[in-house]
């Protein structure tokens, strides 16, 4: 009799009825609607974004941890579990949902005016409007304080100029939350967020192609050439880097859970394959070296799941600190990527084909390892928490 990692660790007993229902609902949607097509989307580098957006909106996963405006108002843990099930299918699909809900929607929900919220959030939660989040620049990834994108006053208007890079959803978005340097205050305090309809003259979003990772995801640039906005376009409730960094923590939290889903899918695939593949007249799963690999991966995956659930419970109760999210992101993505690579060895030559999900997950996790904060940045966050010394510079 075989056991899954969830059974081995008794994980299902740690979830309440509502959380299990969300897991079942999103997993069923993933198996029925997404999994049969995801290898083709990955191979072609194309995703039927608009079609999926309305379906995901009906499922209730866009901004599901936010209150009001058609959002589900679910717990942080429930949102994380939904991310886990989406990333078990593909990291690009989880990224699609995460950017929409935890970056673009969260920024408007947390820092926007009533007018901005009423205009965008109901349509975004339903999937009728898509958003993106413009922070990273071609020369400033890990150091957003160095951004060159600027917003200058011209009468009652703001005029934006600059460029953003590696922006999920930007070529298909209806609205972009763009962070720019203003002259309102010196240094990072002058950084402000703007809600920018993508049909505004001077806004363009060229698609980035020829990717070897996150191919079932739409990635682009944002180019701003004298984009004129009314004063009401500025997010009124935040200034400085606190705004974008708090949004990034929301997205990173989803990754803490999502990476577990990718690792789980790889391990389940490897266990099934090893049981059906005969090598020297007996199943591959019957060899000690194979069982050692599977056992080590099961321990790493189960502890990653426990860490994700612990951080979810913290977030839902006393709150979770940025360095704690860094712990989860660093550990869980690193472990998921190691699991994907190890599972590839169990599948042998079959491990490099899209007939199985393992190499696709491994390629995707190479991006997840560095986006929303590289491993090095999260190590420095944890190091600062341990020592009290800021070693970023």
Where in the sequence numbering do the catalytic residues fall?
372
Using the structure block, give the residue that is written with the tokens 């009468």: 155
Q: Is 161 left (phi over 0), alpha (psi -120 to 50) or beta?
A: beta
76's tokens: 């942080």
Is residue 173 within 8 A of residue 131, CB to CB? The reply is: yes
Q: Is 105 left (phi over 0), alpha (psi -120 to 50) or beta?
A: alpha
348's tokens: 């042998």
Signed CA dihedral, 193, 77, 264, 90: sign only: negative
CB atoms within 10 A of CB 68: 12
Using the structure block, give the residue that is written with the tokens 């990173």: 252
User: What are the phi and psi torsion angles at 295 (to 5°)?
Assistant: -65, -45
228's tokens: 């004129």
Tell me which residue of 135, 241, 138 sits closest to 187, measured CA to CA. Answer: 241
Kindly state the greatest CA–CA separation across the chain. Answer: 80
User: What are the phi and psi torsion angles at 20 (to 5°)?
Assistant: -65, -35
Is residue 78 within 8 A of residue 85, CB to CB? The reply is: no
Question: How far is the CA of 389 from the CAs of 175, 240, 330, 336, 393, in angstroms?
Answer: 39, 22, 19, 29, 11
Which segments of 317-371 does DSSP mark as H helices, in order?
322-347, 358-368
265's tokens: 């899918």
Give the Cα separation of 304 and 324 in Å (integer): 13
Beta bridge partners of 140: 137
Give the Cα separation of 268 and 263 in Å (integer): 9
144's tokens: 């957003």
Task: Indicate the DSSP class of residue 33.
Answer: I
């Amino acid at each position: 009799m075989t056991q899954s990692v969830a059974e081995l660790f008794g994980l299902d007993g740690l979830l309440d009825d509502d959380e299990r229902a969300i897991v079942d609902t999103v997993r069923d949607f993933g198996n029925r609607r997404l999994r049969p097509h995801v290898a083709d989307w990955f191979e072609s580098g194309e995703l039927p974004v608009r079609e999926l957006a309305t379906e995901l909106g009906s499922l209730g996963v866009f901004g599901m941890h936010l209150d009001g405006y058609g959002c589900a108002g679910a717990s942080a843990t429930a949102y994380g579990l939904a991310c886990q099930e989406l990333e078990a299918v593909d990291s690009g699909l989880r990224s699609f949902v995460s950017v929409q809900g935890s970056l673009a929607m969260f920024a408007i929900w947390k820092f926007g005016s009533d007018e901005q919220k009423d205009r965008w959030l109901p349509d975004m939660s339903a999937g009728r409007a898509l958003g993106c989040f413009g922070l990273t620049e071609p020369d400033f990834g890990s150091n957003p304080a160095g951004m060159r994108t600027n917003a200058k006053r011209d009468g009652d208007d703001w005029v934006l100029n600059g460029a953003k890079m590696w922006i999920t959803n930007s070529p298909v978005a209806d609205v972009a939350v763009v962070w720019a340097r203003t002259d309102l205050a010196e240094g990072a305090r002058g950084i402000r967020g703007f809600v920018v309809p993508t049909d505004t003259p001077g806004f363009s979003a060229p698609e980035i192609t020829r990717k070897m990772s996150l191919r079932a995801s739409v990635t682009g640039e944002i180019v701003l050439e004298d984009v004129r906005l009314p004063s009401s376009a500025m997010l009124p409730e935040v200034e400085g880097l606190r705004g974008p960094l708090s949004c990034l923590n929301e997205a990173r939290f989803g990754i803490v859970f999502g990476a577990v889903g990718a690792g789980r899918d790889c391990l389940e695939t490897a266990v099934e394959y090893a049981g059906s593949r005969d090598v020297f007249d007996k199943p591959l799963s019957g060899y000690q070296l194979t069982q050692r690999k599977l056992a080590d991966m099961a321990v790493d995956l189960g502890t990653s799941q426990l860490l994700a659930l612990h951080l979810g419970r913290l977030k839902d109760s006393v709150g979770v600190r940025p360095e704690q999210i860094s712990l989860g992101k660093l550990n869980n993505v690193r472990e998921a990527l190691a699991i994907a690579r190890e599972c590839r060895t169990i599948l042998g030559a079959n491990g490099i084909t899209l007939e199985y999900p393992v190499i696709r997950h491994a390629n995707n996790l190479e991006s997840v390892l560095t986006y929303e904060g590289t491993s090095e940045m999260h190590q420095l966050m944890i190091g600062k928490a341990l020592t009290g010394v800021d070693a970023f510079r």
